[in-house]
Structure formats: C-alpha cells, structure tokens
Structure 1
Amino acid sequence: MVHLLREVGLDFVGAAPVRHVFARETTAPPDAVYTALAEDVPGWTRWFAAVTLARPLDGGARREIRLKGGTRFEETVLAAERPEVYAYRVDLTNVPGSRTIVEEWRLSPSGTGTRVQWTFAVDGTAPFRTAVRLGRAGLARSFRGAVVSLDRRLTSAAS
C-alpha cells in the first residue's frame, strides 16, 4: 500500500520528532561529492549498498528510489545548493506508519576533502518513531558504508 506523506519544508529537519545526524570525512572534494549526490542520481546504486534503483524525475526536481527489501520512495528535492546542501522530502512510500520523512546532506570542506553530514528526520505513528529510533545503529552503518564507498569511487575516478 502506498502512503501519501505530509508536505513540509526544509525547516522540518530541525523540528522533527525523530532526528538522526551522522557525519564522516572523505578525501574527495565537496564539488565531487555534491555531483554524486545531486546530479548523478542513478549512480547512487553504485555506492549506496541499500539502493537498488535511483532515478531522477521531472528534470531532477523529484526522484524515485527503491531499497533492498522492497521499500519505495518518491521524493521532492527541497534544496540543491552546490556544493553545500542537498535535501529531499519523501512524498509517497510503502513504509507503514510514516507521516513525514526529510533527508538532508550537508557538505563542508575538511582539509583537502569533505565533511559529509546526513540528517534523517522523520515523524509518524508511535510504532514507526520507535522503530526509527531503534534502527539508529543500522542507519549509521549504512551511512558509513555508503560514504566510504562513495569516497573510494570518487578518488579512484580522479586518479
């Protein structure tokens, strides 16, 4: 069953009832990381292990994402500010209990590389919020693995 989620803006990231914030350093420069996040949407399948399909919609204003296990999202891009922030809101999903999901990727220079910060902000039913809280460690592992894989991909492409 598909669920239509609440339309919110980027300010939801700071106000969400459940927020997970993760950060990791890369050796790749911010512009390269931003390009991989915001402009090479189909490329997500090559560095984010959980993503099985990623495609831009409406000229990049929206995205379709599918994850291992069958989770599906249709998203609206809320911010695409090179090379600092890329954020999107989930509009449709098959995740029961979800009411609002916004993800924000913030990039900042760190030495010759990039500090990548990902915020996963959500609201939903009490069981959904509890599940997301309990899933923090899994989200952290997924984020770490994705950023390490992305960094390897970007630094090997630059060589």
Structure 2
Amino acid sequence: MARRLRPVGMDFIEAAPVRLVFAARTAAPPEEVYQALAEEVGDWPRWFGAVTLARPTHGGAGREIRLRGGVRFRETVMAADPEQRYAYRVDETNAPGVRALLEEWRLTPAGSGTHVRWTFAADGPTPLRLALTAARPGLGHSFRTAVRTLDSRLTARRAAGR
C-alpha cells in the first residue's frame, strides 16, 4: 500500500467535498442484501464487476479490496447495521490524490424488495475532485449493474431454496 488516508468519521458522508449518491432497487429483501454486502464480502467480485478481490480482515472489522486496473484499498468497517446500513472507510490506498474516502450502502424496505442507496464520499485536491465528478456517470453505471447482478444472484439463491 502506498499511502495512509486521513481517518474520517461517519459525519464525512454528509460533509465530504465530493459526494456521489446513486440508488437502485432490488427484489431481494433488506436482510438478503445486507448479508451479501457485509457477511459475504469474499463474493463481491462475483456481482460487482469493478472488484477483483474482496476479503474481510481483522475478524470482519476491516476489508481488503482490489479493483480492475490495480487500485487497492485497506478499509475499516465503520457501520454494520443489519438490514439498514453498511459503511467502510478507506485507510490505505495506492490511488493517487485521495486524502479521505468513505462509502455507505443504505438499505430501505421497498415493498417486498429493497431500495439501495450508495454514497461515495471523498476528499482530495481539485484535480481529483474534478475527476471524480467527471466519473459520476461511469460510477453510477457500475453501481446499477452491480445491484442488478446481485439481485439476480439473490433471486436465483431464493429459487434454489438456499
């Protein structure tokens, strides 16, 4: 890992200089979505195309993530509220320019399914802020595709009775 980032608290989700918020719906109930996010971390590469490796660390209190293109993160889980929210802070990364990064997945019941909201909160110098803002469409597409893929996996799992 190249650099340690500034440690931020959950309030950073609202106060970050760059906040990218995306939403999607699943047919799966919140408990199944939460389980996939927080308890089955190693399966993330199967449904989130940008993720090539995901593994829990420190007994589930942290995560190691690798993305396509070679970006790596070491993270601390900041919130793990079953069926409601899963959030993590990036502590170390090899991504240039990032000073602070926190991501939150909010789960809200929506009929028999779930409304999923992902907030990507970051800080860095002006060029990074501009690059992240320009990347919004791609990040949104990646998120929506991931949620659709996850929903399909969870639907298949329910149909198989698991």
Instruction: Calculate the TM-score normalised by the size of structure 1.
Output: 0.99
The SS at the match of 2:99 is strand
CA–CA distance in structure 2, aligned partners of residues 126 and 72 of structure 1: 22
CA–CA distance in structure 2, aligned partners of residues 97 and 130 of structure 1: 11
**Equivalences for residues 5-84 of structure 1 within 5 A:** 5-84=5-84
Specify the alignment match of 1:123 in structure 2: 123
Specify the alignment match of 2:152 in structure 1: 152
Q: Which runs of 5+ in 1 are unaligned?
A: none
The SS at the match of 2:24 is strand
Q: Percent identity?
A: 61
The SS at the match of 2:38 is helix
Question: What is the Cα-based RMSD across aligned positions, in Å?
Answer: 0.7
The SS at the match of 1:31 is helix
- Counterpart of 1:17, as a letter, is P
CA–CA distance in structure 2, aligned partners of residues 48 and 64 of structure 1: 15
Instruction: Calculate the TM-score normalised by the size of structure 2.
Output: 0.97
- Counterpart of 2:120, as a letter, is F
CA–CA distance in structure 2, aligned partners of residues 158 and 64 of structure 1: 28
**Equivalences for residues 128-143 of structure 1 within 5 A:** 128-143=128-143
Runs of 4+ residues deviating >4 angstroms: none
CA–CA distance in structure 1, aligned partners of residues 86 and 141 of structure 2: 21
